[in-house]
């Protein structure tokens, strides 16, 4: 157990619910802790993401989406996810706590597993992956570290969706052997195009099977890129090239799952599991327990710590390691412990061997007589024309018919599938050597078979997403993307309106597609609102998406509350939605109360009228005192209008 004395997360209570108690393991992208769900009073595993990822908004969004998808998956062989959250900068996932070992630890302790034990681990692994594939969920990072073997022998797959969440950050660099997934287990299409589907998980599971059988992955190198290169350019070698005695059926099973062309692999984990059962049945393999704490055949097996001792009566004595001639065993987890593979061979085949040998001896004797009878004539034929074959005409044939024709000619067909714009799928494009060539029997004829046109599809779910997210998704497709801008009433500025050709259209490699990005709604013309009541004028402007700022002014000709004009005016042209329009409203004429200037001398009266905003019109009749005024004192008159005063001495 790692020390947790200096770990700042230990002791925290995340979201006031999950108490972090001790660190279990730490990796490049996350650290796993044991903790307690205080609300439900149960033990849980808490995966806290690395700080570099937790500060990336795109990762957090993708992490939350993938966590919700994983939480919907319920299966015995999948580590259940119960919650996800973010607290004070810590992005975390709450999962089922599995007590036991990772498959990585089991392989490290044992060097390698027997075929029986490897199948016992792989079968439930594929069962869990199959449940995910049926719901459309892809793991993307199947590897021994993510396959957990509990103390009670249950196999569980962990970390669904985490690789995709990390990929959402746009990270492409290699760190500690991780290239958006662990490079030793990545399928060629993940390395070349960043694309992954259920068949990519099948490839990784095939690599895991190879490693369980041999003790190491098929490819090694000085750098992650050199390992990636081998995945893309080499076929995975048969496990029997490393460990002698592995049956050819298992070699073919590994080969089927790890073909470089995804179309040649099992369709999904369920299809791979069916092939696994077929091989198990063909080899007559018996059931063994999941090797949580497996030791080699020279030492007695021991239980995991805390499991208790195995039943002594169920053990089979261990014999010396001898050459393997047959493998018995496999799927599921049995109640008792298995003996070594060699003992299984001896115990299950010894009774049949002697009888089989006697029958074979009789058949061999008869066959020898028949062979000697035809050898003499056969030798002459062979050294004449018999050792040569003529390659048949197969171009334009369906693949099955072409293969049959080549085999009937005594030749060995090798099929290569390629995309073709002109030849229908499953039809032979070319043959090498060409038809009519004379070659030695048993020679190979290379058939190039059409996979039909190569097409790529842009996901319709990208419409409406931010441009940056869409560009990241399209980067994995070998198509040319051209950016264009357009107005849209509802799609936010900077998000994608659509594509031309439309999303979902079949596209050829390097075909151009236009990504239309929203620049918001189209600018609007300012309506003519003068003469309308204020509320009507304001409503007309707001309905078009403008902001309105109301301003009032006096007007002798327009009644109060009536719109006078807008600024800008309608003839200023269309304005962007959201522009602030000034709406000028009439306050009516500017009326002022006329001051009382009666009895005042000429100068004083004129000054007071002017101060009130009026113009004085003076009439003098033998005096200097105001005796009359019009309008009269206190009457309302328009500011700037004339007030007449009469001066006399009376």
Q: Which CATH number characterizes residue 231's domain?
A: 1.10.510.10
User: Are 271 and 191 contained in the same domain?
Assistant: yes
User: Are 27 and 143 contained in the same domain?
Assistant: no
pLDDT of 527: 96
Q: How far apart are CA 607 and CA 597, in angstroms?
A: 10
State residue 404 phi and psi, 5-degree precision.
Answer: -65, -40
Q: Is residue 509 part of a domain?
A: yes
Mean pLDDT of the chain: 82
Instruction: Convert the pLDDT of each residue in 198-253 to its tens digit.
Output: 999 999 999 999 999 999 999 998 888 889 999 999 999 999 999 999 999 999 99
Instruction: Convert the pLDDT of each residue in 532-555 to its tens digit.
Output: 999 999 999 999 999 999 999 999
Q: For residue 350, count other CB atoms closer than 10 A to its CB.
A: 9
Last residue of a domain, one of 545, 562, 586: 586
User: Are 538 and 578 contained in the same domain?
Assistant: yes
User: Are 113 and 240 contained in the same domain?
Assistant: yes
Q: Is residue 6 part of a domain?
A: no
pLDDT band at 124 (very low <50, low <70, confident <90, very high): very high
pLDDT of 5: 55
User: Are 289 and 208 contained in the same domain?
Assistant: yes
Q: How far apart are CA 298 and CA 319, in angstroms?
A: 7
Q: Is residue 320 part of a domain?
A: no
SS3 55: coil
Pairing, β 388-390 against β 496-500: unpaired
Task: Please report, rounded to a whole number, the percentage of residues in the chain having pLDDT higher than 70.
Answer: 81
pLDDT of 268: 92
Q: Which two tokens stand for residue 594?
A: 């006329």
Q: Is residue 419 part of a domain?
A: yes
Measure Cα distances from 173 to 87, 320, 559 in Å. 28, 49, 72
Q: How far apart are CA 307 and CA 305, in angstroms?
A: 6
User: Are 405 and 438 contained in the same domain?
Assistant: yes
Q: How far apart are CA 259 and CA 257, in angstroms?
A: 6
Show Cβ contacts of residue 74 under 8 Å, excluding neighbours closer than 6 positions.
80
Q: Which two tokens stand for residue 520?
A: 């918001």
User: Are 565 and 640 contained in the same domain?
Assistant: no
Q: Is residue 575 part of a domain?
A: yes
User: Are 111 and 199 contained in the same domain?
Assistant: yes
State residue 486 phi and psi, 5-degree precision.
Answer: -155, 160
Last residue of a domain, one of 450, 470, 486: 450
pLDDT of 286: 86
Q: Is residue 563 part of a domain?
A: yes
Instruction: Convert the pLDDT of each residue in 592-602 to its tens digit.
Output: 999 999 999 99
pLDDT band at 72 (very low <50, low <70, confident <90, very high): confident
Q: Which CATH number do you get for residue 446?
A: 3.30.10.20
User: Are 157 and 255 contained in the same domain?
Assistant: yes
Measure Cα distances from 112 to 118, 154, 440, 490 in Å. 9, 19, 42, 59
pTM (predicted TM-score): 0.47
User: Are 83 and 124 contained in the same domain?
Assistant: no
- What total number of domains does the chain contain? 7
| Cα dihedral across residues 350, 352, 358, 364: positive or negative | negative
State residue 229 phi and psi, 5-degree precision.
Answer: -60, -40
Instruction: Convert the pLDDT of each residue in 372-428 to its tens digit.
Output: 444 444 444 444 445 678 999 999 999 999 989 988 888 888 889 999 999 999 999
56 is a catalytic site residue: no
pLDDT of 36: 96
Instruction: Say which range, 101-105, 137-141, 142-146, 566-570, has the weakest mean pLDDT.
Output: 137-141
Q: Which residue has the higher pLDDT, 171 or 620?
A: 620
Last residue of a domain, one of 95, 119, 144: 95
Which of 56, 83, 87, 141 is labelled catalytic? Answer: 141
SS3 637: strand
pLDDT band at 136 (very low <50, low <70, confident <90, very high): confident
User: Are 401 and 378 contained in the same domain?
Assistant: no
Q: Is residue 328 part of a domain?
A: no
pLDDT band at 178 (very low <50, low <70, confident <90, very high): very low
User: Are 491 and 540 contained in the same domain?
Assistant: no
Q: Is residue 266 part of a domain?
A: yes
What is the pLDDT averaged over residues 440-447?
Answer: 84
Q: How far apart are CA 376 and CA 353, in angstroms?
A: 35
147 has a pLDDT exceeding 90: yes
Task: Please report, rounded to a whole number, the percentage of residues in the chain having pLDDT higher than 90.
Answer: 59
pLDDT of 68: 77
Which range marks the domain in which residue 411 is found?
Answer: 388-450
């Amino acid at each position: 157990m790692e020390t947790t004395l200096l770990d700042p997360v230990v002791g925290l209570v995340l979201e006031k619910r999950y108490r972090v108690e001790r660190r279990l393991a730490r990796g490049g992208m996350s650290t796993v802790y044991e903790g307690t769900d205080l609300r439900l009073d149960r033990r849980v595993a808490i995966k806290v993401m690395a700080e570099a990822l937790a500060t990336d908004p795109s990762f957090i969004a993708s992490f939350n989406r993938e966590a919700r998808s994983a939480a919907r998956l319920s299966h015995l062989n999948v580590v259940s996810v119960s919650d996800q959250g973010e607290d004070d900068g810590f992005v975390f996932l709450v999962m089922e706590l599995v007590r036991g070992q990772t498959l990585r630890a089991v392989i490290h302790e044992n060097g390698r597993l027997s075929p029986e034990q490897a199948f016992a681990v792989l079968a439930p692994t594929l069962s869990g992956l199959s449940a995910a594939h049926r719901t459309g969920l892809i793991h993307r990072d199947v590897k021994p570290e993510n396959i957990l073997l509990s103390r009670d022998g249950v196999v569980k797959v962990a970390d669904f969706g985490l690789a995709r969440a990390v990929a959402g950050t746009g990270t492409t660099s290699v760190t500690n052997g991780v290239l958006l997934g662990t490079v030793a287990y990545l399928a060629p299409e993940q390395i070349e195009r960043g694309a992954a589907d259920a068949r990519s998980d099948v490839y990784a599971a095939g690599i895991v099977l190879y490693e369980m059988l041999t003790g190491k992955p098929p490819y090694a190198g000085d750098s992650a890129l050199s390992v990636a290169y081998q995945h893309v350019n080499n076929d995975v070698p048969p496990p029997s090239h490393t460990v002698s005695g592995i049956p050819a059926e298992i070699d073919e099973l590994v080969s089927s799952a790890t073909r470089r062309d995804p179309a040649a692999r099992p369709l999904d984990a369920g299809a791979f599991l069916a092939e696994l059962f077929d091989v198990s049945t063909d080899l007559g393999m018996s059931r063994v327990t999941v090797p949580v704490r497996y030791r080699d055949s020279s030492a007695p097996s021991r239980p995991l710590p805390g499991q208790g001792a195995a039943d002594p009566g169920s053990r089979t004595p261990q014999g010396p390691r001898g050459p393997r001639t047959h493998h018995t065993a496999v799927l599921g987890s049995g109640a008792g412990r298995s003996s070594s593979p060699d003992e299984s061979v001896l115990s299950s085949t010894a009774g049949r061997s002697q009888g089989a040998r006697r029958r074979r001896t009789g058949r061999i004797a008869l066959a020898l007589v028949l062979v000697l009878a035809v050898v003499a004539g056969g030798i002459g034929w062979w050294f004449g024309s018999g050792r040569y074959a003529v390659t048949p005409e197969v171009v334009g044939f369906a693949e099955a018919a072409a293969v049959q024709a080549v085999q009937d000619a005594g030749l060995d067909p090798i099929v290569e599938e390629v995309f073709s714009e002109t030849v229908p799928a499953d039809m032979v494009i070319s043959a090498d050597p060409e038809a009519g060539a004379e070659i030695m029997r048993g020679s190979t004829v290379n058939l190039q078979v059409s996979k039909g046109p190569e097409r790529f599809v842009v996901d319709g779910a990208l419409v409406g997403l931010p441009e940056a997210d869409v560009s990241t998704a399209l980067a994995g497709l070998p198509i040319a993307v051209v950016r264009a801008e357009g107005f849209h009433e509802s799609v936010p500025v900077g998000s994608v309106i659509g594509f031309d050709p439309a999303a979902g259209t079949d596209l050829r490699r390097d075909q151009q597609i236009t990504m239309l990005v929203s620049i918001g709604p189209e600018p609007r013309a300012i309506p003519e609102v003068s003469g309308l009541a204020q509320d009507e004028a304001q409503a007309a402007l707001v309905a078009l998406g403008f902001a309105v700022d109301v301003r009032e002014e006096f007007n002798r000709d327009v009644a109060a509350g009536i719109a006078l004009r807008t600024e800008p005016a309608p003839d200023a042209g269309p304005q962007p939605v959201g522009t602030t329009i000034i709406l000028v409203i009439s306050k009516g004429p500017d009326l002022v109360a006329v001051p009382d200037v009666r009895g005042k001398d000429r100068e004083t009266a004129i000054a007071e009228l002017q101060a009130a905003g009026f113009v004085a019109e003076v009439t003098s009749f033998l005096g200097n005192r105001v005796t009359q005024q019009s309008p009269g004192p206190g009457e309302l008159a328009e500011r700037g209008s004339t007030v007449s005063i009469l001066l006399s001495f009376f």
